[in-house]
């Protein structure tokens, strides 16, 4: 399907299902930039940004297309990190299996938390996911295999599929980029599929979607589990990149950060979370030596976004270009 | 003497700690509930405002020479005024939007306030002396009861019950409850609903600050004292049922006690027990123990 050329018809249509030319162009630009980037910018920094970008895209699947604000998404990032780090370090899993194992752990957790949380909406949903996240945080603090305050350190990166040596930073970068692009495209595909259309219908008018015969709860749960899975993929990858799984990734401040990235980039836009993640990670990188000011700056961005900039960077850009990005 | 193999000293000691924590849970969740009832937002700044209450007490003592009893009166009012300013300048612009924006805005303010205090005062706590009148304690035979802790429990219970009485049993409270149900109709009867909303927010914030003043002599005055506490309080509010006044009070104290006993019988779970209870309650009664199903 393509966007219609008739501006009058196009103006009245809701967001088009399927791939539109602006999406393709933006995707190509993004991919080209990311392929060239490690030759100009410190690759580890880029990998961090890519992991957070995937995390934010996964989060956006829930807030942007189902309208559910999860305030505990760090759980899936962090627990997948623990799963990947533990399986790689203690059980000697190769990286591909470690990432799969970590991601699967996040999926299972997504089913459990989702089944309990999905029955509520709006503020209740945010509250409940936050509380579950805090529960997992305390569990991670006390459990033996997570290493408590120390985390799981010096996780081996290993050799991917027995071929690619991930100790080489540039090789690792392109593996991370491939994982990011795969996750990004799968999320894009999910959003622009009949499944995604049903999700949007539920977001707009849940009783009506139910009366049309859609089992809203199942759709929402599936979306939640998908979101948890991709957040887990990001977390597992991040654990291998930094060779570390720590409490930071399960703490609620991390859940707040992903909200910030998505909000700043643009809720419900395809590319917004990526842009938001890069901006926030860059900011934190430059502000790191300022200590407590990082929190203050994050708070100020939240306030400005909510009060005057609710469409986010990409949303505003799309509005300017009159294209849905 | 032992009960279930646990010395009574330890048991009553934890019961006391549980009641103290419960007093703070109750005061904080009560404020959240009152605010949520009328504004329909979860006030994420609540933890920061609790911390501001404790700092206000500290400032009053060290800058103005005003002691604990003055702080108990002045600090909540001062923090409430900052809350009212916040509501007037920013929050009120969001009432027409999705309520989630209110959550995000107050979250942003919590980050700003906690960041600024942490920048200025670091992460280690500042001491705040106990009022001389309440120093010491008494031996009850089976346990030692510090006077200040008894005071915190009794005073916060009194504040909670007074709030309940005002909201549920007086004319002012009936306006408030009516405005919760249907603000435009209440406004049509000539009641200034926007002003009521502002004052309600101020009152909820004042309760948080009051809890902060009460906490100052027990815990140290610390920029992050409210950051993690508030998440437990969110769980308490979910268990009790959002917007239910009596529910907040009962579950606040009840969960404090449950948490205290968990420390005696199964210490590993003491941090998580409230969240486990929340999960069970959600399964059995999604609207909370005292909430009405919508």
DSSP secondary structure code for residue B270 in this structure: T
Yes or no, beta carbons of B286 and A142 under 8 Å apart: no
pLDDT band at B293 (very low <50, low <70, confident <90, very high): low
Nearest Cα neighbor of B223 from A291, A212, A264, A122 is: A291
pLDDT band at B1 (very low <50, low <70, confident <90, very high): low
Please give the pLDDT value at position A237. 94
Yes or no, beta carbons of A302 and B279 under 8 Å apart: no
In a domain, A289, yes or no: yes
In a domain, A2, yes or no: no
In a domain, A8, yes or no: no
Question: Which chain A residues contact residue B100 at CB under 8 A?
Answer: 69, 122-123, 126
Please give the pLDDT value at position A12. 36
Yes or no, beta carbons of B238 and A139 under 8 Å apart: no
User: Nearest Cβ partner of A127 from B40, B108, B238?
Assistant: B238
In a domain, A26, yes or no: yes
Alpha-carbon Rg for chain A, nearest whole angstrom, is 19
Could you tell me how far CA B151 lies from the centroid of its own chain?
A: 17
- Chain A nearest CA to B88, separation (Å): 13
User: pLDDT digit string (tens) for A185-215?
Assistant: 999 999 888 999 899 888 888 899 899 989 9
Please name every residue paired with B138 in a beta bridge, in sequence order, or none if there are none. B145
Which residue in chain A has the smallest CA separation from B270? A138
Question: Which chain A residues contact residue B104 at CB under 8 A?
Answer: 259, 263, 302, 305-306
Average of per-residue pLDDT values in chain A: 86
pTM: predicted TM-score of the whole model, two decimal places: 0.88
Which residue in chain B has the smallest CA separation from A144? B268
- Chain A nearest CA to B283, separation (Å): 7
User: pLDDT digit string (tens) for B232-271?
Assistant: 898 898 898 877 888 889 999 999 999 999 988 888 888 8
d(CA A263, CA A67): 13
Question: Which chain B residues contact residue A300 at CB under 8 A?
Answer: 108, 112
For residue B25, which phi and psi values (nearest 5 degrees)? Answer: -55, -45
Query: Residue A8 pLDDT > 70, yes or no?
Result: no
Yes or no, beta carbons of A306 and B242 under 8 Å apart: no
* Across A100-104, A304-308, B24-28, least confident range: A304-308
In a domain, A12, yes or no: no
pLDDT band at A220 (very low <50, low <70, confident <90, very high): very high
ipTM of the complex: 0.87
A125 touches chain B (CB under 8 A): no
Please give the pLDDT value at position A184. 95
- Chain B nearest CA to A61, separation (Å): 16
- Name which of B86, B124, B275 to mutate to probe chain A: the one with the most chain A Cβ atoms within 10 A of its Cβ: B275
- Chain B nearest CA to A289, separation (Å): 12
Query: Residue A7 pLDDT > 60, yes or no?
Result: no
CATH of the domain at A221: 1.10.3470
Q: What residues does each domain of chain B span?
A: 2-284
For residue A197, which phi and psi values (nearest 5 degrees)? Answer: -65, -40
| Mean local confidence (pLDDT), A246-265 | 91
DSSP string, B101-122: HHHHHHHHHHHHHHHHHHHHH-
Q: How many C-beta atoms lie closer than 10 Å to residue A249's C-beta?
A: 26
Please give the pLDDT value at position A9. 36
In a domain, A1, yes or no: no
Could you tell me how far CA B9 lies from the centroid of its own chain?
A: 28
In a domain, A131, yes or no: yes
The count of structural domains within chain A is 1
In a domain, A206, yes or no: yes
Q: How many C-beta atoms lie closer than 10 Å to residue A72's C-beta?
A: 26
Which residues in chain A (40-79) have CB-CB distances under 8 A to chain B?
69, 71
User: pLDDT digit string (tens) for B154-206?
Assistant: 999 999 999 999 998 999 899 988 988 888 899 999 999 999 999 999 999 99
Residue B146, SS3 per DSSP: strand
Q: Which CATH number fits domain B2-284: 1.10.3470, 1.10.10, 3.40.1130, 2.60.220?
A: 1.10.3470
State which residues form the domain around A314.
17-321
Nearest Cα neighbor of A102 from A86, A85, A118, A84 is: A84
Please classify residue A187 by burial: count the beta carbons closer than 10 Å to its beta carbon, then call 0-12 exposed, 13-18 middle and 19+ buried: buried
User: pLDDT digit string (tens) for B85-109?
Assistant: 999 999 988 888 888 889 899 999 9
Look at strands B2-3 and B6-7 and give their pairing. Answer: antiparallel
A298 touches chain B (CB under 8 A): yes
- Chain A nearest CA to B101, separation (Å): 6
Strand segments, DSSP code E, in chain A are 159-160, 164-165
Percent of chain B residues past pLDDT 90, beyond the cut: 48
Please give the pLDDT value at position A167. 81
Yes or no, beta carbons of A301 and B286 under 8 Å apart: no
DSSP secondary structure code for residue A219 in this structure: H
Query: Residue B219 pLDDT > 60, yes or no?
Result: yes
């Amino acid at each position: 399907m393509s966007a219609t050329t008739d501006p009058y018809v196009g103006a009245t249509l809701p967001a088009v299902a399927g791939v539109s030319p602006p999406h393709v162009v933006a995707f190509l630009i993004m991919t080209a930039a990311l392929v060239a980037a490690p030759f100009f910018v410190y690759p580890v920094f880029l990998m961090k940004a890519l992991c957070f970008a995937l995390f934010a895209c996964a989060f956006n699947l829930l807030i942007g297309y189902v309208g559910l604000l999860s305030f505990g998404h760090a759980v899936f990032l962090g627990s997948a990190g623990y799963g990947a780090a533990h399986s790689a370090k203690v059980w000697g899993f190769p990286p591909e299996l470690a990432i799969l194992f970590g991601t699967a752990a996040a999926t299972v957790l997504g089913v459990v938390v989702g089944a309990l949380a999905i029955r509520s909406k709006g503020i209740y949903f945010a509250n409940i996911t936050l509380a579950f996240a805090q529960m997992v945080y305390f569990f991670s603090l006390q459990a033996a295999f997570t290493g408590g305050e120390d985390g799981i350190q010096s996780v081996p990166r290993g050799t991917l599929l027995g071929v690619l040596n991930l100790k080489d930073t540039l090789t690792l970068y392109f593996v991370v980029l491939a994982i990011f692009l795969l996750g990004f495209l799968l999320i894009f595909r999910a959003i622009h599929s009949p499944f995604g259309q049903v999700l949007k219908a539920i977001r707009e008018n849940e009783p009506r979607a139910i009366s049309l015969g859609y089992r809203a709860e199942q759709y929402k749960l599936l979306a939640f589990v998908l979101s948890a899975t991709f957040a887990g993929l990001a977390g597992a990858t991040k654990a291998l990149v930094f060779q570390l799984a720590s409490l930071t990734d399960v703490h609620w401040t991390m859940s707040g950060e992903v909200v910030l990235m998505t909000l700043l980039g643009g809720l419900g836009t395809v590319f917004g979370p990526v842009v938001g993640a890069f901006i926030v990670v860059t900011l934190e990188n430059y502000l790191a030596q300022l200590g407590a000011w990082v929190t203050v700056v994050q708070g100020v961005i939240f306030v400005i976004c909510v009060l005057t900039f609710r469409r986010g960077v990409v949303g505003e850009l799309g509005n300017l270009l009159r294209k849905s990005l | 003497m032992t009960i279930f193999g646990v010395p009574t000293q330890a048991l009553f000691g934890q019961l006391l700690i549980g009641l103290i924590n419960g007093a703070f849970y109750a005061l904080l969740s009560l404020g959240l509930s009152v605010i949520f009832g009328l504004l329909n937002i979860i006030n994420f700044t609540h933890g920061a405002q609790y911390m501001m209450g404790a700092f206000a007490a500290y400032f009053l003592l060290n800058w103005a020479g005003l002691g604990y009893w003055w702080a108990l009166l002045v600090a909540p009012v001062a923090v409430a005024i900052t809350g009212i300013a916040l509501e007037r300048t920013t929050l009120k612009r969001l009432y027409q939007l999705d309520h989630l924006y209110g959550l995000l805005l107050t979250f942003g303010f919590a980050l700003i306030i906690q960041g600024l205090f942490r920048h200025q005062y670091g992460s280690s706590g500042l001491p705040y002396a106990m009022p001389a009148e309440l120093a010491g304690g008494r031996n009850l035979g089976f346990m030692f009861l510090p006077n200040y802790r008894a005071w915190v429990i009794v005073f916060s219970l009194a504040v909670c019950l007074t709030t309940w009485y005002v909201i549920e049993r007086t004319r002012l409270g009936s306006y408030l409850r009516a405005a919760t149900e249907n603000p435009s109709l209440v406004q049509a009867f000539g009641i200034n609903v926007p002003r009521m909303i502002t004052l309600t927010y101020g009152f909820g914030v004042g309760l948080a600050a009051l809890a902060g003043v009460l906490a100052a002599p027990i815990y140290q005055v610390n920029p992050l004292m409210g950051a993690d506490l508030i998440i437990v309080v969110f769980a308490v509010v979910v268990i009790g049922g959002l917007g239910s006044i009596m529910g907040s009070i009962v579950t606040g104290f009840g969960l404090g006690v449950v948490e205290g006993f968990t420390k005696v019988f199964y210490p590993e779970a003491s941090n998580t027990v409230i969240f486990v209870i929340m999960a069970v309650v959600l399964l059995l009664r999604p609207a909370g123990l005292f909430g009405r199903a919508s």
